[in-house]
Amino acid sequence: MAPFALIATGALAAPLQAADLTVSLHDARTQDGRFQVALVDAGGYAGSAAPVAARELAPAGAVTRVTFDGVPAGRYALMVIHDENGNGTLDTNLVGMPVEGYGFSNNPRVTRKPTFEEAAFDVGADALALDVSIR
């Protein structure tokens, strides 16, 4: 009886679909500072939950690549800040417009923060590569 229980428990713990996500960051204005890249679900995008995963890395030439390994299947968005002066935040001017680089998955052309749906993409079982332009 006990061996069957162990087999059944193992079957229930089988991993869900997961894929590697490679992100290429383009068009940085400068090689100064660091990129902060957040992979978020709808809750993380709204600020009510922590990012699913986050990376911080230095710019590496014309294209900087970062990989998120084993991302569970689901709907996500990417938010990128190019913290050019290294103070840990996206600096803005007096009217709230960013003065440092930023980007979102799907590269939406909007004059406000895009909605989650405008930036959202789906992760399944296959590896995925996305390009994000830094504005």
pTM here is: 0.86
The per-residue pLDDT for 45 is 97
What does the domain layout of the chain look like in residue ranges?
A: 17-133
Reading the block at residue 68, the tokens are 């998120």
Query: Of 2-16, 95-109, 120-134, where does mean pLDDT reach its minimum?
Result: 2-16
Task: For residues 102-130, give the mean pLDDT.
Answer: 96
CA angle (60 as vertex; 57, 62 as ends), nearest 5 = 130
Percentage with pLDDT > 90 across the chain: 85
Amino acid at 126: D
Per-residue pLDDT, 110: 87
The answer on pLDDT for 118 being more than 80 is yes
Per residue in 73-89, pLDDT (tens digit) is: 999 999 999 999 999 99
pLDDT > 70: percent of the chain = 89
Q: Which CATH architecture has domain 17-133?
A: Sandwich (2.60)
pLDDT of residue 29 exceeding 80 = yes
Please enumerate in sequence order all residues whose Cβ is within 8 A of that of 92, keeping only pairs 6 or more positions apart, or say none. 98, 99
**What's the confidence (pLDDT) of residue 6?**
45
Q: Report the alpha-carbon distance of residue 32 to residue 15 in Å, rounded.
A: 40
pLDDT at 1 over 60: no
